[in-house]
Chain A
Amino acid sequence: MALLELKDVHVALEDGTEIVKGVDLAVSPGEIHALMGPNGSGKSSLAYALMGHPAYEITSGEALFDGRDIIELGADQRAQLGLFLAFQYPHAIPGVTVTSFLRTALNAIRKARAGGEDDPVPVPEFRKEMLAAMEHLKIPRELAQRYLNDGFSGGEKKRVEILQMAMLKPRVAVLDETDSGLDIDALKIVATGVKELVGSETGALIITHYQRILNYVEPDFVHVFVDGRIVEEGGPELAHKLEAEGYEAFMPEPIASSSESEA
């Protein structure tokens, strides 16, 4: 059985508008999935709903993590089970350093994994691991003492998202438009980082509009997502086809212009 399993998942906003209209998806450790779709297709809404954002409700269908229904769980509980979302627009937490935040989050997750008993990471071990991960992601050391995402450039934010993934070691990571706003060097670093984190314990769902991140982290499965549904599935070759031909072929009807805004 897959680690993350979605069966006919529907997602609606608080006003009842249905954004995701029945998705089936299964992600297992070691697998990299790409969910590709145009702006406004509901990709990010699906990501938020999976992570438990209160404004994106799963109205029907099943979302199972390790066989367990997660629909009623809070975002914190989902994270503790091993689900991770790399945000498209990570939020700033002024006054809280990256180091402080990472250690707090790591200890929260360790506590959950230790059955509710405090199991704080020893400080030297934490520092060593964090500094190694930062170096690997080419994050300047001084960033560790800056306030989380406060005044960070777009590239810094994305790298720090991957740093969090590296430290928290999720079992399924959902990456929401992690490639957007990155220059080619940063993209390479981030994509390589993601690739290295996926393994026998971890699977990934990469949400993207473009094919370019997939040049550095080749997906095992590609899902084309249009208007709240998966309309086509295949291997990595599908991504290349999309890049060459665009999404038009998969659209339910011709579109005049795609909306730039995406929830």
Chain B
Amino acid sequence: MASTETEIVGGIKTEYKYGFHDPEDYFFKSGRGLSHELVAAISEHKNEPDWMRKFRLKSLDYFLARPLPEWGGNLGEIDFENIFYYIRPTEKQAKSWEDLPPDIKNTWDRLGIPEAEKNFLAGVGAQYESEVVYHKLKEDLEAQGVLFLDMDSGLREHEELVKEYFGTIIPQNDNKFAALNSAVWSGGSFIYVPPGVNVEMPLQAYFRINAENMGQFERTLIIVDKDAYVHYVEGCTAPVYSTDSLHSAVVEIIVKPGGRCRYTTIQNWSNNVYNLVTKRAVAYENATMEWVDANLGSKLTMKYPAIWLMGEGAHGEVLSIAFAGQDQHLDAGGKAVHIAPNTSSIITSKSISRGGGRASYRGLLEVAKGAEGSKSKVVCDALILDEDSRSDTYPYIRIDESNVDIGHEATVSKIGDEQLFYLMSRGLSEAEASAMVVSGFVEPITKELPLEYAVEMNRLIQLQMEGSVG
């Protein structure tokens, strides 16, 4: 903890930190809009097997047939005809830093990727546009039989494994946006960890949207075999554009008996991005699944990482942060579904709203008949920074088993004038003082992050606070 301390203070810039973008120079760029022809063309361009092409086309049918959800946030302004669904930035994947095109290197320099890698990256899979262009695996991972590829390569090189699990955790017709992703997905990560293998370093991928009006539809599949462990870290930062972008990812995770998976996300979209993501994991006997999910920015985020506890003794945790600023609506939370007996889950949500922003906790806790002896605890804390902002809690609870132990706590607090005065009396500006209170509020979650992400998180909070006061 000690080494993150300096990060609370420091230079605060008023502009969106990642609001730069590179001139577009793409190898293949689809036209705007969505059609069966486009979906078939994507599949063909990727040289995919026939079953995937059919899967995509069927998914498009589901997408077109489903109405927009009427709950959550306002989705009516998304113009699906005005989005690029597929862009491939470079001809082939780069294996090392030197092979990357200068534009992309430049972008990553500004994001600090090389420094992060120097620190302790086990392997970088960074998504630039729709394709993973830079992908590196440390030799020891390969020696352990760990697969860490972009999803497209995963499909090419490990088709049978992909076919066995792809779309099984989140069916293609699960919801409208999962259907859209299933139709036009590109990139994302494919990870397989063999039985008993403990991947000590977090596997990291840095996602980034660069082309205006480009949807980003990455698809991630993680399989953690028996008694294996992996921590996957995803970060997303989008530059500022004047028109709206759509991000709609699907993440499927299978944790086999005794295995453990942690999936950490820091998302910081610019405030014109629709971030509509479906994340779901299944945990079998005595397995553990943990979602650590921090959401900043975006115009609208709807995201509820889910865990299905399928085997006896399985444990699931969701740690969620949502920070809604001006003109932002973050509807986030988590879901735990107890299917097997003696399973346990904890959902911890911290939401912050300021500048008229709206942060909602939406969560589901379900205990099926027969899941006796299960325990669950849901804690939602909201911090509201000013009078214009809003916080809501929508906890859905369905319990079909009597022998269970369920707890739900919710708190709402406002940032205290006395706290601010105390901090300001020590020389902190009002923005610095507010940022410090907010950083402290989310600390139970940031302390779970790898160090450089915790540092990044605190910087992002500072940036969010700047302009909110004074």
* Chain A residues within 8 Å of B, Cβ to Cβ: 51-55, 74-76, 78-80, 84-85, 87, 90-91, 93-97, 99-101, 103-105, 107-109, 111-112, 118, 120, 123, 145, 147, 164, 168
Please indicate the chain A residues that have their CB under 8 angstroms from the CB of B165 in the complex. Answer: none
- Is B6's CB under 8 angstroms from A108's CB? no
B154 to chain A, nearest CB (A): 39
Which of A51, A52, A78, A100 sits near B8, CB closer than 8 Å? A100
Q: Considering the chains assembled together, what is the distance between the CA atoms of A137 and B1 in angstroms?
A: 24
| Cβ-closest chain B residue relative to A105 | B426
- Is A104's CB under 8 angstroms from B436's CB? yes
B143 on interface, CB distance cutoff 8 Å: no
B430 on interface, CB distance cutoff 8 Å: yes
| Cβ-closest chain B residue relative to A92 | B419
- Is B1's CB under 8 angstroms from A145's CB? yes
Please indicate the chain A residues that have their CB under 8 angstroms from the CB of B443 in the complex. Answer: 94-96, 147
A187 to chain B, nearest CB (A): 23
Which of A51, A94, A107, A147 sits near B425, CB closer than 8 Å? A51
B208 to chain A, nearest CB (A): 28
Q: Which of A100, A118, A123, A145 has the most CB of B within 10 A?
A: A100
Q: Considering the chains assembled together, what is the distance between the CA atoms of A124 and B15 in angstroms?
A: 33
In the complex, chain B residues 436-452 whose Cβ is within 8 Å of any chain A Cβ: 436-437, 439-444
- Is B418's CB under 8 angstroms from A91's CB? yes
| Additional 13 contacts, C-beta under 8 A, given A91-B416, A99-B5, A120-B9 | A54-B421, A74-B424, A76-B430, A87-B422, A91-B418, A93-B419, A94-B441, A95-B440, A104-B6, A108-B426, A118-B10, A118-B11, A168-B427
Summarize B's interface: helix, strand, loop or mixed.
helix
Please indicate the chain B residues that have their CB under 8 angstroms from the CB of A90 in the complex. Answer: 422
A-B contacts, 25 of them at CB < 8 A, read: A74-B424, A79-B424, A84-B425, A87-B425, A91-B416, A91-B419, A93-B419, A93-B422, A93-B436, A93-B440, A95-B439, A95-B441, A96-B439, A97-B2, A100-B5, A104-B5, A104-B8, A104-B9, A104-B432, A107-B6, A111-B9, A112-B427, A147-B443, A164-B426, A168-B426
Q: Considering the chains assembled together, what is the distance between the CA atoms of A91 and B426 in angstroms?
A: 12
| Bitwise interface map of B from 312 to 356 toward A, beta carbon under 8 Å scored 1, else 0 | 000000000000000000000000000000000000000000000
Q: Considering the chains assembled together, what is the distance between the CA atoms of A136 and B11 in angstroms?
A: 33
> Given A91-B416, A96-B436, A101-B436, are A108 and B9 neighbors across the interface (CB < 8 Å)?
yes
> Given A79-B426, A147-B440, A168-B427, are A53 and B421 neighbors across the interface (CB < 8 Å)?
yes
- Is B9's CB under 8 angstroms from A107's CB? yes
Q: Considering the chains assembled together, what is the distance between the CA atoms of A123 and B8 in angstroms?
A: 14
In the complex, chain B residues 395-428 whose Cβ is within 8 Å of any chain A Cβ: 416-419, 421-428
Please indicate the chain B residues that have their CB under 8 angstroms from the CB of A53 in the complex. Answer: 421
- Is B427's CB under 8 angstroms from A105's CB? yes
B60 to chain A, nearest CB (A): 46
- Is B439's CB under 8 angstroms from A76's CB? no
A128 to chain B, nearest CB (A): 14
Please indicate the chain A residues that have their CB under 8 angstroms from the CB of B10 in the complex. Answer: 118
- Is A123's CB under 8 angstroms from B419's CB? no
| Bitwise interface map of B from 225 to 241 toward A, beta carbon under 8 Å scored 1, else 0 | 00000000000000000
| Cβ-closest chain A residue relative to B431 | A76
- Is B426's CB under 8 angstroms from A93's CB? no
Q: Considering the chains assembled together, what is the distance between the CA atoms of A168 and B425 in angstroms?
A: 11
Which of A55, A80, A96, A118 sits near B427, CB closer than 8 Å? A80
Q: Considering the chains assembled together, what is the distance between the CA atoms of A134 and B430 in angstroms?
A: 28
- Give the total of B residues in contact with A, Cβ under 8 Å: 33
> Given A76-B428, A105-B427, are A95 and B419 neighbors across the interface (CB < 8 Å)?
no
| Cβ-closest chain A residue relative to B444 | A95
Please indicate the chain A residues that have their CB under 8 angstroms from the CB of B2 in the complex. Answer: 97, 99, 145
Please indicate the chain B residues that have their CB under 8 angstroms from the CB of A109 in the complex. Answer: 426-427
| Cβ-closest chain B residue relative to A75 | B424
Q: Considering the chains assembled together, what is the distance between the CA atoms of A75 and B429 in angstroms?
A: 8
Q: Considering the chains assembled together, what is the distance between the CA atoms of A169 and B422 in angstroms?
A: 17
| Cβ-closest chain B residue relative to A97 | B1
B106 on interface, CB distance cutoff 8 Å: no
B144 on interface, CB distance cutoff 8 Å: no
Q: Considering the chains assembled together, what is the distance between the CA atoms of A99 and B8 in angstroms?
A: 12
- Is A93's CB under 8 angstroms from B428's CB? no
- Is A94's CB under 8 angstroms from B417's CB? no
B4 on interface, CB distance cutoff 8 Å: yes
- Is B441's CB under 8 angstroms from A75's CB? no
A16 to chain B, nearest CB (A): 19
Please indicate the chain B residues that have their CB under 8 angstroms from the CB of A107 in the complex. Answer: 6, 9
Q: Considering the chains assembled together, what is the distance between the CA atoms of A90 and B425 in angstroms?
A: 11
Q: Considering the chains assembled together, what is the distance between the CA atoms of A80 and B425 in angstroms?
A: 9
- Is B426's CB under 8 angstroms from A94's CB? no
Please indicate the chain B residues that have their CB under 8 angstroms from the CB of A112 in the complex. Answer: 427
Q: Considering the chains assembled together, what is the distance between the CA atoms of A75 and B419 in angstroms?
A: 12
Please indicate the chain B residues that have their CB under 8 angstroms from the CB of A118 in the complex. Answer: 10-11
